[in-house]
Amino acid sequence: MESVLQAIGTVGLIFLVLAGLLAGWIASVVSGGRHKAAYLAIGVVGALVTPFIVALLGGAVLAAGGLLAIVAIALVGAVIVLIIGKMILD
């Protein structure tokens, strides 16, 4: 787990939060602007948690792909968590 944190770094964590906020904002726009704060929070959680889950499952692509791969995986995770969140909220 510490190796993932070292690979991501502070700048990477900032990018993950920004990716989650972007995904959450897009989800709130698509849903008509309802539950905006919830979508933003869900997007950030999904973006922050997904790279760690992938690393635990043996995702060596995180280290090989660098920051771009980490952010891409974070966006996918944020979208998945947002879809689940939308089903719960609506």
Say if CB 42 and CB 82 are below 8 A apart: yes
Selected residue with higher pLDDT from 82 and 5: 82
Residues 6+ away with beta carbon under 8 Å from 11 = 67
Q: What is the mean pLDDT of residues 45-68?
A: 77
Selected residue with higher pLDDT from 79 and 61: 79
Structure tokens at 29: 């726009």
Q: What is the pLDDT of residues 13-39, one digit of tens each?
A: 898 899 999 999 998 888 887 789 999
